[in-house]
């Protein structure tokens, strides 16, 4: 990989989910740097900052107070600056229509939060791997769509 580590950001208002997420990455043997934000506003504030280090992958929960994941998604995809960020929607169950809608709005990945920790680790690992493959194999990031 070009850099030493992968930059990962999670925006989720749920404390437990943030815990699961960071724990999972801790136990994975991938070089990652994980930061978390509590809601959409915090996230966008960070991203929009001048000196922001943009993540390789952004995990977005949909149900967040103040600014929802969907709003963030639209805002981010509207901004050229963020076009290289792979966005993974990380959410509890949604309807088929809603899932498709997130893809249409520009999400690359949709992850239904698993209820098993081991499974969570596997899912996150797969996401990282596939994303990296896109990065290194000259594959078209626009067509990067993954649902787990």
Residues of this chain that bind other proteins (CB under 8 A): 2, 14, 16, 20, 23, 92-93, 95-97, 100, 103-106, 110, 113-120, 129-130, 133, 136-140, 143, 145-148
**106 Cβ partners below 8 Å, 6+ apart?**
73, 74, 76, 77, 87
Q: What phi, psi does 76 have (nearest 5°)?
A: -65, -45
Shortest separation between residue 139's beta carbon and other proteins, angstroms? 5
Q: Return the beta strands (E) in the chain as ranges.
A: 6-11, 32-37, 57-60, 86-91, 109-112, 146-147
**Under a CB-based contact definition with an 8 Å cutoff, are residues 57 and 30 in contact?**
no
**Closest distance of CB 137 from other proteins, Å:** 6
C-beta of 71: minimal distance to other proteins in Å? 15
Closer residue to other proteins in complex, CB, 2/49: 2
Closer to other proteins by CB, 46 or 145: give it: 145
């Amino acid at each position: 990989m070009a850099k030493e580590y992968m930059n990962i950001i999670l925006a989720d208002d749920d404390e437990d989910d943030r815990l699961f997420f960071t724990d999972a990455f801790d136990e994975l043997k991938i070089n990652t740097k994980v930061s978390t934000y509590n809601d959409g506003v915090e996230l966008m504030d960070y991203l929009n900052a001048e000196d922001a280090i943009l993540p390789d992958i952004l995990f977005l929960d949909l149900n967040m107070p103040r600014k929802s994941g969907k709003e963030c998604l639209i805002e981010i995809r509207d901004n050229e600056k963020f076009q290289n960020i792979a966005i993974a929607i990380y959410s509890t169950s949604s309807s088929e229509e809603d899932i498709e809608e997130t893809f249409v709005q520009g999400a690359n990945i949709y992850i239904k939060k698993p209820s098993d920790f081991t499974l969570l680790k596997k899912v996150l690992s797969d996401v990282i791997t596939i994303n990296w493959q896109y990065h290194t194999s000259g594959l078209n990031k626009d067509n990067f769509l993954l649902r787990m």
